[in-house]
Amino acid sequence: MKAVDTWERVLVALIVLVYIVFGLGIHGFLAPYAIADSTTNMSEKAIIALAMALLVVAGEIDLSIAATMALSSLAMGYAMKAGAALPLMLAAAAATGAACGALNGWLVTRWQLPSIVVTIGTLSLYRGLAQVLLGDQAITGYPDRLSTWGNGTLGDLVDLPKLIVPIEFAVMVLMAIAVGLLLHRTVHGRRIFAIGANRIAARFSGISVDRYRFLLFVFAGLMAALASVLLTGRIGSTRPNLAMGWELDAVTIVILGGVAIEGGRGSIVGTILASVLLGSFTFGLGMLNVSGIVMSMIVGALLVVSMVLPRWLRYGALLRRVGVA
């Protein structure tokens, strides 16, 4: 059994445990509408975590992805204030996200700078731009259609009130399937794994390493724009602190999902399972009125545990093989 498969089984067991414990301890936690509601915030974070997973597998990271969400939402808000229709608003968000990702990718590939350093800098740049341009103001008055995407269900789209699956969750599932197929079932995915495992060897084998790295950063920007559209529709406003701190959640989901921080290993299934685990756990804590700072502490602890525990499992498996031999 592969270590990553073992870790995915652990994640499934933890998800079941969370639902059993909170289901027994919190009235209404297992109600269908509560479960549907728990997927909203989780879905937006999972979308950016999917892009982060691809980057980490390739040996890179993007800590500016949440700030890119804020800037994409701001671009959408300015487009609305200029009188643009919804398609142009969405195009403005996508273009902004792609531009932010392209800048990250250009700095990393053209100047061979470490992505962690570059994206720490652009995190401050993008978030600072949003704060300077908006100040303490907010942009509101978005179209009802955008609100439907952020708050509605599939039943709202097909006039079936009993179909309570949130649109955001459906979008996340579709993106997870697409990214999973790309990473695990195509030659491009194998090349991404090869780049993360050994960049120099991948280059000598004929892989256009810098092109893949650049495109992965652009894709991260586009996924941040998609998440910002859904989040803006859900809360009905653009604010400079939109998605503040979500980069830590995205990294936690990716590492908790079994993606090796050094690159070259990981799975999209694990990333989605980690999203469900973290989302359901924090939703339960929210129903218990646990403060945001305590949740941040828990997320930080999960990040540490998710880095240590898989290595411990691999070490245990190695000892067992040696013992058998």
Residue 241 is predicted with a pLDDT of 95
For residue 120, what pLDDT is reported? 98
pLDDT of residue 7: 83
Greatest mean pLDDT among 64-78, 253-267, 272-286: 64-78
- Phi (first) and psi of residue 236, to 5 degrees: 75, 20
pLDDT confidence of 293, banded at 50, 70, 90?
A: confident
Neighbour tally for 263: CB within 10 Å: 21
Q: What is the pLDDT of residue 3?
A: 53
Per-residue tokens: 100: 């932010």
pLDDT beyond 80 at 179: yes
* Least confident segment among 87-96, 153-162, 185-194: 153-162
| Residue extents of the structural domains in the chain | 3-318
Cβ atoms of 218 and 102 within 8 Å: the answer is: yes
What pLDDT digit, counting tens, does each position of 78-111 carry?
999 999 999 999 999 999 999 999 999 999 999 9
Task: Residue 29: name the closest of 297, 292, 285, 299 by CA.
Answer: 285
Helix (H, G, I), strand (E, B) or coil at 140: strand
CB 81 within 8 A of CB 142: no
pLDDT digits (tens, 9 = 90+) for 10-21: 899 999 999 999
- Higher per-residue confidence, 194 vs 1: 194
Q: Which amino acid, residue 25?
A: G
Mean pLDDT for the chain overall: 93
The CATH T-level fold of domain 3-318 is ABC transporter involved in vitamin B12 uptake, BtuC (1.10.3470)
**pLDDT at position 2, please?**
55
DSSP assigned state of 312: H
Going by pLDDT thresholds of 50, 70 and 90, the confidence category of residue 279 is: very high
Query: Is a pLDDT exceeding 60 seen at residue 324?
Result: no
d(CA 23, CA 14): 14
In the numeric block, the tokens 């120099």 are attached to 200
| Among candidate residues 251, 15, 23, the one with its CA nearest the CA of residue 115 | 251
pLDDT band at 1 (very low <50, low <70, confident <90, very high): very low
Q: Above 60 in pLDDT, residue 285?
A: yes
pTM: 0.94
* C-alpha to C-alpha distance for 126 and 118, rounded to whole angstroms: 12
